[in-house]
Amino acid sequence: MPQTPSSLLRQIPQVGAMLSTSTGKAMAEDYSPGLLAEVLGQVLAELREGLQAGLGSVPAEEELFAQCQKRLQAMFALSKPALINASGVLLHTNLGRAPLAKLAARAAYEAGINYTPLEYDLAAGNRGDRQMQVEQLAARLLACDSALVVNNNAAAVLLMLTAIAKEKEVVVSRGELVEIGGSFRVPEVMIQSGCTLREVGATNKTRAADYQQTIGENTAALLKVHTSNYKVIGFTQAVEIPELVQVAHQAGLPLLADLGSGALLPLSQYGLPDEPGPKEALAQGADIVCFSGDKLLGGPQAGILAGDKALIDRMKKHPLMRALRPDKMTLAALEASLMLYQDPQLARQQIPLYQMLGTSIDVLHQRAMALKDSLSSYAQFSFEVVPSQAQLGGGSAPGETIPSIALSIKSDIISVQTLAAKLRLGEMPVVARIQQDAVLLDLRCVMEDQLTKLTQTVKDALDTEGV
Ligand SMILES: *Cc1c(COP(=O)(O)O)cnc(C)c1O
């Protein structure tokens, strides 16, 4: 006679009884009795619902424990902390911009797992300054009086304008009303900081006289914004920092410069146009410069303000500073990254961004050939080593490309979208580029120690096609 549902329901074990079995006790030690009881409760409740709906039967206890194990493992699985960037975009904002130098990552790790003298003066044994070290280092590297670190460059611009120009006017060229990645727009940041934007010139042309005519009683500063992610070409004119400094200083005003990336090394040796450097801008007379920590500096997300001590002190003391200040791990990673720049050669060797920019085409070609050779057994795919164009990204050097090499993968049995998705969902995710009917693995931003894992992910993705 078939069992009635109610007799089936009575076969469902009790949570308490399962917890006191040897398997239950062992699992409770790995997780905790409370968490195990909660997950067991869920599994049993779902089983009960299924049985009431006439589905399935009561599995053995081991099977129920196995289901719990799976759920607990999923609860404790870290989200993917790393991936391989085969997109060819070096400072990909969606992929976390610049990877840190190992020294910087180690510094962040040590700061993270330990107490640190974050706001403690070890010599005096009392309260110290959170940023003193990193500020002194930045000021030395940039040959200026003072520096300050905040959460990112958007925060730096907000703090700078609020502390210096609240309820006053700031003059900016119409050609420089930049939007960075959707939510950061110069005019909107100005509104947030409580100052009034005075636009001058036209989109394509602004002259020194345009600034001069607009400066009035209520003007607090002139602002220069690096047009980091677009280019105005053709009939154009802009006032560069040296001339703008003269205009500002004649009127007794400070010149503020949002440099965006703030490269500390020249890019020309990598075949790219040089970005405005903070040291150069300060030497040309800019009173305050600000720039990102995780663009061309190759450090952690941060905003660095540098220049005149009196102005920096105003920002330091501003109540907003408390909301914008960086944490101990960021400060440790930034300090370590800046330390490397004391020797440009060291920075080029140790900072991944410059390692990747500096890898020769020959080396990239060899790596692509090795990858291709290791895939030769996948006969249903065709592989070709092709020239490619990488980009800096992250709002740096717009429109400029960097020569690179890619492995192109084509197939008749699987769409490029499907293959790209399989690569993204690999054990070590790989973000590739789709170009027409091929998936391109651009090797410019694949780090040398990632090549084995790249090969493995590609093999796994091709394997799941049943070839
Ligand atoms: C990137 C950029 C910003 C924003 O910097 P974050 O560090 O991303 O906050 C601001 N201004 C300019 C000119 C930029 O290029």
CB of 290 closer than 8 Å to CB of 156: yes
pLDDT digits (tens, 9 = 90+) for 52-89: 988 888 999 999 999 999 999 888 877 778 999 999 99
Buried b (16+ CB within 10 A) or exposed e, 233-264: eeeeebbebeebbebbeeeebbbbbbbbbbbb
Q: What are the distances in angstroms from CA 122 to CA 118, 119, 126, 242, 336? A: 10, 9, 7, 42, 19
Query: What confidence tier does 4 reach under pLDDT thresholds 50, 70, 90?
Result: low
* Choice between 87 and 1, residue whose per-residue pLDDT is larger: 87
* Choice between 385 and 75, residue whose per-residue pLDDT is larger: 385
* Choice between 243 and 178, residue whose per-residue pLDDT is larger: 243
In short, whether 307's Cβ falls inside 6 Å of ligand 1 is no
| Ligand 1 centroid from CA 258, angstroms | 8
C-alpha span between 305 and 258 (Å, rounded): 9
Query: What confidence tier does 396 reach under pLDDT thresholds 50, 70, 90?
Result: confident
Contacts of 54 (CB under 8 A, 6+ apart): 5
CB of 91 closer than 8 Å to CB of 295: yes
Query: What confidence tier does 3 reach under pLDDT thresholds 50, 70, 90?
Result: low
| Ligand 1 centroid from CA 402, angstroms | 22
* Choice between 398 and 158, residue whose per-residue pLDDT is larger: 158
pLDDT at 131: 87
Looking at 189-198, 294-303, 364-373, 438-447, which range is the least confident one? 189-198
C-alpha span between 12 and 60 (Å, rounded): 10
Nearest of 278, 281, 311 to residue 292 by alpha carbon: 278
Looking at 113-122, 226-235, 307-316, 317-326, which range is the least confident one? 226-235
| Ligand 1 centroid from CA 229, angstroms | 10
Mean pLDDT over residues 83-112, rounded? Answer: 96
- Enter the tokens of residue 51: 């049985």
Nearest of 8, 51, 15 to residue 33 by alpha carbon: 15
In short, whether 184's Cβ falls inside 6 Å of ligand 1 is yes
Q: Above 90 in pLDDT, residue 386?
A: yes
Mean pLDDT over residues 88-112, rounded? Answer: 95
In short, whether 178's Cβ falls inside 6 Å of ligand 1 is yes
Beta bridge partners of 196: 169
Percent above pLDDT 90 for the chain: 78
Ligand 1 atom nearest 396 alpha carbon: 15
| Ligand 1 centroid from CA 233, angstroms | 22
In short, whether 378's Cβ falls inside 6 Å of ligand 1 is no
Query: What confidence tier does 7 reach under pLDDT thresholds 50, 70, 90?
Result: confident
| Cβ neighbours, 10 Å, residue 178 | 20
In short, whether 292's Cβ falls inside 6 Å of ligand 1 is yes
pLDDT digits (tens, 9 = 90+) for 115-174: 999 888 999 999 988 888 899 999 999 999 999 999 999 999 999 999 999 999 999 999
- Enter the tokens of residue 311: 């102005």
* Choice between 17 and 394, residue whose per-residue pLDDT is larger: 17
Pocket test for ligand 1, best of 172, 292, 296 (most atoms within 8 A of CB): 292
Q: Above 90 in pLDDT, residue 394?
A: no
| Ligand 1 centroid from CA 192, angstroms | 16
Q: Above 70 in pLDDT, residue 466?
A: no
Query: What confidence tier does 465 reach under pLDDT thresholds 50, 70, 90?
Result: low
| Ligand 1 centroid from CA 426, angstroms | 32
pLDDT at 358: 96
In short, whether 225's Cβ falls inside 6 Å of ligand 1 is yes
* One-letter identity of residue 409: I
pLDDT at 2: 54
Q: Above 60 in pLDDT, residue 1?
A: no
Q: How many residues does this entry show for the chain?
A: 467
pLDDT digits (tens, 9 = 90+) for 209-221: 999 999 999 999 9
Please state, rounded to an integer, the average pLDDT across all residues of the chain. Answer: 92
Q: List the strands of the sheet with 381-390, edge to edge.
A: 381-390, 402-411, 438-442, 433-435
In short, whether 161's Cβ falls inside 6 Å of ligand 1 is no
C-alpha span between 98 and 81 (Å, rounded): 14
Nearest of 9, 31, 10, 28 to residue 18 by alpha carbon: 28
Query: What confidence tier does 34 reach under pLDDT thresholds 50, 70, 90?
Result: very high
Angle made by CA atoms 10, 13, 17, in degrees to the nearest 5: 135
The position carrying tokens 């003059």 is: 171
Pocket test for ligand 1, best of 172, 179, 185, 258 (most atoms within 8 A of CB): 258
Ligand 1: which residue has its CA nearest to atom 6?
153
In short, whether 223's Cβ falls inside 6 Å of ligand 1 is no
In short, whether 395's Cβ falls inside 6 Å of ligand 1 is yes
In short, whether 228's Cβ falls inside 6 Å of ligand 1 is yes
pLDDT at 467: 42
Percent above pLDDT 70 for the chain: 98
Q: Above 80 in pLDDT, residue 180?
A: no
In short, whether 326's Cβ falls inside 6 Å of ligand 1 is no
pLDDT at 74: 86
pLDDT digits (tens, 9 = 90+) for 237-276: 888 999 999 999 999 999 999 999 889 999 998 988 887 7
Ligand 1: which residue has its CA nearest to atom 7?
153
- Half-sphere exposure of residue 368: CA atoms within 13 angstroms, side-chain side: 25
| Ligand 1 centroid from CA 186, angstroms | 10
Query: What confidence tier does 339 reach under pLDDT thresholds 50, 70, 90?
Result: very high
